[in-house]
Amino acid sequence: MRKLFLLPVAVFMFAACQSGPKEEENPFFTEYETPHQVPPFDKIKESHYMPAFKEGMKQQKAEIEAIVSSSEAPDFENTILALDQSGALLDKVTSVFYPLRSADTNDSIQSIAREVSPMYSQHSDAIMMNMDLFGRVKAVYENMDEAGLNDSQKRVTTKYYKDFVRNGANLNSEDQERLKEINTKLSSQTLEFGENLLAETNENFELVIEDEADLAGLPKGVRDAAAETAEAAGYKGKWMFTPQKPSWIPFLTYGKKRELREKLYSGYFMRGDRNDEYDNKDIIKKIVALRAERAKLLGFENHADYVIDVNMAKEPEAVYDFILKLWEPALDRSKQERAEMQAIIDAEGGNFDLAPWDWWYYSEKLRKQKYDLDESQLKPYFQLENVRDGMFWVANQLYDITFEPVNNIPVYHEDVEVFEVKEADGSHIGLLYLDYFPRKSKRVGAWCTGFRDAGYDHENNEVVDPLVSIVCNFTKPTGDTPSLLTWDEVNTLFHEFGHGLHGLFTEGKYDRTAGNVPRDFVELPSQIMENWCGEPEVLRQYAKHYETGEVLPDDLIEKIQNSSLFNQGFANVEYLAASLLDMDWHTLTTDDKVEDVNAFEDASMNEIGLIPEILPRYRSTYFAHIFSGGYSAGYYVYKWAEVLDSDAFNAFKESGDLFNKELAAKFRKHCLEEVGEGEGMVQYKKFRGQEPSIDPLLEKLGFE
């Protein structure tokens, strides 16, 4: 994890106090005596965190004081490099605590998170508003050319200087104090939003079915998983469905009982909006108001202006223009899809109009009708382990790297497996942790994180190898049936693996810049990998029937190819609607007051003409990306990066070789390894030789 005081406030804010052990017993206070110096999860106890947090902050404070009190004139080594290398112990504990808080939390961990959150915010502010420290950084920044700094040194110096300015270093003392208050409040509010959502997903709704007739239409694997979920929850002999995607999406796709589809989907989309102890509406109003006030203090019109100023898009207007270019063709396509599904309903004698909880069910029927393709035909060919090996194979073909399972590495949960990643010559790159299955201690979704970033140890003059982790929520094996993925989950695994490759390949001598890219560039490494997973020659590598070993037949491969444009109206409308909702929330100014969160959301969606059969991918009350994660005024970035990834993959297609070694080497160098050495577009043009074209994306979506 990069220096916390450089991350958006409230992105990684969690914590609590327990009596700590003696220092010599705390694993964070000594070097890890483990292979590759990985975290000793088997020895780390919850009681170790708070002492390590406090000591880490204490040590970094002392390191900052040493920089400030130096009698030497400010230069790169005694100011910028010293700042960049400060906080090693704090980095060490945060790099374990925060990933585990998302992947394997409990009440105690969440209690720690609540306590450490304001402490961390105050610690960060104390650094970024230290005027003496800023003065030294500014002195180095203003004399970069005279000092003869190289390009990498200039870049990291510039980044730190701008960080200080964006975090209030130029404010007067009164405004700085108010900014500190805002940051502390935001850290607590965003934390509470995420805790409410976790409780809503795990505890506040369940659909328990007692009559097997109510399972009509559901494949055996879905039924078996629901039975295991029910038994684990104390409902032996029944079937249970939850707001977890591996649970509710199959039910909505195959379940014939319409009233139950509505009940389950309502349980999903009403999260955080039940006017109970887990309700998020008031929290949203507070977060939005605080962000708007902070932006104004820092000289920006609104929070979106503040965030996007350092992105490739540069300003909110460019984001709106980009989204709306795609909105009209996507909306038109969704209306066509709606009409086609309504025709199926009418032909079957259904006396009702298509509703949001019907979309998955009838779109699956439409898929069968138009492409003779049934999702259940595909799943037997997508055994998790085979898909994993397939993505490893793609990485090997592109970059000549290998993945070897290792069994002597401590893990935080029995479901986790670890692979050593090596170059073609056998040299070590890093470790990859894979954590696939849902559990109550894990938040929803899929993400890539890590327990140590790639970096550089200046004291010992050596590279620090990364520990990368991919966390998912895929269907667990049941009985004799292994974990079988949906086509969407296959794409998700390849996507997160792309983030993992970015983390594994990152190079750079400075923490502030190594691997750090604009938010609207960060999805390029992940999304480009999705392009490979559906190519016929790649499918033939990993898509093998879990019972017979038969390779996915050519006719099914052809159907996957032919159906690539299927449901693109829905997929893009729900995503773009959420992106616009995010932008509307974060272009509010301090003069704008929101009294009713749902009314604001409705007005936002009505303005763009969202059809009632589709909800935004995330309604406000469970929009974790923007209210408890790092994507505020930035949910658009997935589609922005899709322009990049479509254009980049098109280079491979145009070359006639999907695994063109020369192109792969250039992509690895400019867009993965040294990407932090230049601005996003600069690095992309080094790879591509030109700015990206939107045409490959429009063609891929069928919107031309």
pLDDT band at 20 (very low <50, low <70, confident <90, very high): very low
Cα 297 from Cα 165, distance rounded (Å): 12
422 in the same domain as 553:
yes
Among 153, 197, 222, 552, CA closest to 360: 222
pLDDT surpassing 90 at residue 246: no
Residue 692 is given by DSSP the state P
> What is the C-alpha separation between 211 and 355, in angstroms, rounded?
25
| pLDDT band per the 50, 70, 90 thresholds, residue 13 | very low
Number of domains in the chain: 3
pLDDT at 201: 87
Question: In angstroms, rounded to a whole number, what is the distance separating the alpha carbons of residues 521 and 682?
Answer: 11
Query: Domain check: are 120 and 214 in the same one?
Result: no
Q: How far apart are CA 67 and CA 165, in angstroms?
A: 19
Residues 6+ apart with CB under 8 A from 589: 292, 296, 301, 302
pLDDT band at 480 (very low <50, low <70, confident <90, very high): confident
| Cα–Cα distance for residue pair 32/42, rounded to 1 Å | 12
Strands 428-435 and 467-471: parallel
Quickly state the pLDDT bin for 704 (edges 50, 70, 90): confident
Q: Distance between CA atoms of 61 and 65, rounded to whole angstroms?
A: 6
226 and 107 in a single domain? The answer is no
Q: How far apart are CA 93 and CA 112, in angstroms?
A: 13
Q: Which residues is 418 bridged to in the sheet?
A: 406, 433
Give the Å distances, CA to CA, from 36 to 166, 248, 404, 438, 466.
37, 40, 14, 28, 10
Query: What CATH number is associated with residue 482?
Result: 1.10.1370.40
**H or E, element range at 405:** strand 402-406
pLDDT over 70 at 2, yes or no: no
Residue 573 is assigned to a structural domain of this protein:
no
Token representation of residue 302: 């609104």
Q: Are residues 260 and 159 in the same domain?
A: no
Q: Is the pLDDT of residue 299 over 90?
A: yes
CA angle 361, 366, 370 (to 5 degrees): 160
* Type of residue numbered 115: E
> Is the same domain home to 109 and 223?
no
Same domain, 417 and 502: yes
Predicted local confidence at residue 7, as pLDDT: 35
* DSSP state string for 588-611: --TT---S-HHHHHHHHHHHTT--
Asked if pLDDT for residue 9 goes beyond 80, the answer is no
For residue 651, pLDDT over 70 is answered with: yes
- Range of 119's domain? 4-128+130-166
Please indicate, yes or no, if residue 286 is contained in any of the structural domains.
no
Average pLDDT, the chain: 94
Judge whether 677 counts as a catalytic residue: no
Whether 289 is in a domain gets the answer no
Encoded tokens for 658: 């999907």
Chain segment 171-220, per-residue pLDDT in tens: 999 999 999 999 999 999 999 999 999 999 888 899 999 999 999 999 99
Q: Both 160 and 230 in a single domain?
A: no
481 with 549, same domain?
A: yes
And the tokens for 236?
């032996």
Eight-state DSSP code of residue 354 = -
566-578 pLDDT, tens digit each: 999 999 999 999 9
The residue among 269, 293, 321 that closes a domain is 269
Select from 480, 492, 469, 489 the least CA-distant residue to 415.
469
State percent of the chain over pLDDT 70: 97
Q: Is residue 160 located within the same domain as residue 261?
A: no
The single residue listed with the structure tokens 């209210």 is 627
| Tokens matching residue 679 | 């601005």
Confidence of residue 24 (pLDDT cuts 50, 70, 90): low
Residue 550 placed within a domain = yes
14: buried, middle or exposed (CB in 10 Å: 19+, 13-18, 0-12)? buried
State whether residue 315 is helix, strand or coil. Answer: coil
Between the CA of residue 526 and those of 69, 99, 125, 508, 530, what are the distances in Å?
43, 19, 32, 20, 7
> Within a domain: residue 527?
yes
Last residue of a domain, one of 549, 565, 581: 565
Residue located via tokens 């999406």: 249
* 544-602 pLDDT per residue, tens: 999 999 999 999 999 999 998 999 999 999 999 999 999 999 999 999 999 999 999 99
Whether residue 228 sits in one domain with residue 124: no
Q: CA–CA separation, 195 vs 326, rounded Å?
A: 34
φ/ψ (deg, to 5) at 321: -60, -45
- pLDDT of res. 574: 98
Reported in sequence order, the residue ranges of 162-283 that DSSP labels E, i.e. its strands, are: 207-209, 239-241
Would residue 189 count as lying in a domain?
Answer: no
Q: 106 with 215, same domain?
A: no
> What are the tens digits of pLDDT across the range 348-371?
999 999 999 999 999 999 999 999
Q: Note whether 514 and 680 are within 8 A (CB).
A: no
| Residue 458 to residue 417: CA distance in whole angstroms | 31
Question: Would the pLDDT of 298 be above 60?
Answer: yes
Distances (CA, A) of 72 to 75, 79, 127, 281, 680: 8, 10, 20, 52, 35
pLDDT greater than 70 at residue 411: yes
3-state secondary structure 256-297: CCHHHHHHHHHHHHCCCCCCCCCCCHHHHHHHHHHHHHHHHH
Give this prediction's pTM.
0.87
The CA radius of gyration of the chain, in Å to the nearest whole number, is 25
Q: Could you tell me the CA-to-CA distances from 411 to 33, 50, 435, 583 in Å, in that order? A: 14, 21, 10, 39
Please, what is the angle between helix 46-69 and helix 131-142, to 10°? 60
Residue 218 inside a domain? The answer is yes
CB 99 within 8 A of CB 108: no
Coil, strand or helix at 557:
helix
Q: Which residues contact 32 (CB under 8 A, 6 or more apart)?
A: 38, 39, 40
Catalytic residue among 496, 530, 574, 642: 496
- CA dihedral in degrees (17, 18, 22, 23; nearest 10)? -30
**Partners of 478 in beta bridges:** 481
Which of 223, 245, 269 is at the close of a domain?
269
**Within a domain: residue 459?**
yes
Tell me how far apart the alpha carbons of residues 454 and 466 are, in angstroms, rounded to a whole number. 4
Beta bridge partners of 222: none
- If we measure between CA atoms, which residue out of 377, 382, 688 comes closest to residue 528? 688
Task: Please state, in angstroms and rounded to a whole number, the distance separating the CA atoms of residues 263 and 249.
Answer: 13
Token pair listed for 287: 């977060």
In DSSP terms, which residues pair with 511 in a beta bridge? none
Residues 49 and 137 grouped into a single domain: yes
Considering the chain, what percentage of its residues have pLDDT values greater than 90?
Answer: 92
CB atoms closer than 10 angstroms to residue 681:
14
